[in-house]
């Protein structure tokens, strides 16, 4: 994915997400994204600036704070099962992505942030 493709995705998804996540009066939010190349291309950053969207500055080596990466690793692990079928795969994915599973990742963030502060920015291997 390149910068323009990323921005097309953002243009399609972000307004609906913001509309569902915040009341219409609240414009006090910041977009959080990691340092994947499509996110940091000049094209992407200019679009955010032009549209008055604040973007959280994200540390270069921040896997410790990226719950999305953690979820992605678990999804990839789930998909490595040699005996999977599309039906089983889909139902396992839906089960895995339950609200409870996602909430576990959200709840882990305070602990992760504390550990990162204690490690003074060094990459952590365990929590």
Kindly give the confidence (pLDDT) of every residue in the chain, 127 residues in length, as a single tens digit, with 9 standing for 90 and above: 888 898 999 898 888 888 877 776 667 788 888 778 888 889 999 999 999 888 887 766 566 666 666 666 666 766 665 555 554 555 555 555 566 667 777 788 788 778 777 877 666 665 4
Q: Say if CB 41 and CB 4 are below 8 A apart.
A: no
110 in any annotated domain: yes
126 in any annotated domain: no
Q: List beta partners, residue 54.
A: none
Instruction: Give alpha helix (H) positions in the chain.
Output: 3-21, 37-40, 42-50, 67-79, 86-96, 99-118
Q: Are residues 43 and 87 in the same domain?
A: no
Q: Are residues 42 and 67 in the same domain?
A: no
Q: Are residues 68 and 36 in the same domain?
A: no
Check residue 49 and give its pLDDT.
94
58 in any annotated domain: no
91 in any annotated domain: yes
Report residue 35 CA to chain centroid gap. Answer: 11
Q: How many domains does the chain have?
A: 2
Question: CA torsion angle for 63, 123, 119, 55 (degrees, to 10)?
Answer: -40
Check residue 111 and give its pLDDT.
82
* pTM for this prediction: 0.53
Check residue 28 and give its pLDDT.
78
Strand, coil or helix: 63: helix
Check residue 80 and give its pLDDT.
65
Residue-number span of the structural domain to which 87 is assigned = 63-118
Query: What span, in angstroms and rounded, lies between the C-alpha atoms of 57 and 76?
Result: 27
Query: What span, in angstroms and rounded, lies between the C-alpha atoms of 76 and 127?
Result: 20
85 in any annotated domain: yes
Q: Are residues 35 and 72 in the same domain?
A: no
Q: Are residues 73 and 109 in the same domain?
A: yes
Q: List beta partners, residue 55.
A: 31
Q: Are residues 68 and 111 in the same domain?
A: yes
């Amino acid at each position: 994915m390149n910068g323009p493709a990323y921005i097309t995705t953002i243009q399609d998804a972000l307004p609906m997400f913001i509309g569902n996540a915040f009341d219409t009066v609240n414009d006090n939010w910041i977009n959080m994204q990691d340092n994947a190349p499509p996110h940091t291309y000049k094209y992407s950053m200019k679009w955010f600036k032009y549209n008055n969207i604040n973007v959280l500055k994200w540390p270069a080596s921040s896997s410790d704070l990226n719950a999305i990466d953690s979820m992605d690793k678990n999804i990839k692990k789930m998909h490595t099962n040699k005996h999977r079928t599309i039906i089983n795969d889909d139902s396992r994915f839906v089960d895995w992505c339950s609200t409870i599973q996602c909430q576990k990742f959200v709840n882990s963030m305070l602990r992760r942030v504390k550990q990162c502060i204690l490690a003074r920015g060094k990459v952590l291997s365990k929590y």
